[in-house]
Amino acid sequence: MTKVLATGTFDLLHPGHVHYLRESAAEGDELVVIVARESMVDHKNPPVVPEEQRREMVGALGVVDKAVLGSEDSIFEPLRRIRPDIITLGHDQHYDEDDLRDELRDRGFEADVVRVSGRDETDEEILSTSRIVERVVERRS
């Protein structure tokens, strides 16, 4: 059985998140998702939605077998208990695949790293949490 791991903040779920998770699930037999702790989100604006609520929402998606909160200390800590065969990255996640693969090997993990495709945005949908927030502010101001 091939265990796939996807990670992300998943603030204000949108079709881009669903696309990422569907493509991740297609890489194996079981999809585990790590939802980032607010304290670990330092590469973009902090999440609007509380972390436990984000985990619950991701876990409710049919393609997800299990959703867990990440570590407060290290992105690598949960991998010891999850033991993924494949780690997927979203098309816009800031990690470099080769650097991550090397870091995983250095820490004793044998997981492969796969970057999934992005979803083309249409006029009828918004595929960015920051754009959703901008639209809410614009329409509610």
Q: Is the pLDDT of residue 43 over 80?
A: no
Q: What are the phi and psi torsion angles at 62 (to 5°)?
A: -60, -25
**pLDDT computed for residue 11 by the predictor:** 94
Q: Is 14 annotated as a binding residue?
A: yes
For residue 72, name the pLDDT band (cuts at 50, 70, 90).
very high
* Cα–Cα distance measured from residue 18 to residue 61, given in angstroms and rounded to the nearest whole number: 8
| Boundaries of domain holding 68 | 3-140
Q: Do the bridges between strand 30-35 and strand 66-69 make them parallel or antiparallel, or are there none, so unpaired? A: parallel
Record the pTM.
0.92
Q: Is 10 annotated as a binding residue?
A: yes
**Span 111-132, average pLDDT:** 88
Does pLDDT of 141 surpass 90?
A: no
Using one digit for the tens of pLDDT, what is the confidence trace for 5-26? 999 999 999 999 999 999 999 9
Q: Which of 120, 127, 109 is nearest to 5 (CA)?
A: 109
Q: Is 16 annotated as a binding residue?
A: yes
Cα–Cα distance between 96 and 101 in angstroms, integer?
Answer: 9
CATH number, domain of 76, equals 3.40.50.620
Query: What does the mean pLDDT of the chain come to?
Result: 93
Is 109 among the annotated ligand-binding positions? no
Count of domains for the chain: 1
In sequence order, what are the residues at sequence separation of 6 or more whose Cβ sits closer than 8 angstroms to the Cβ of residue 75? 7, 40
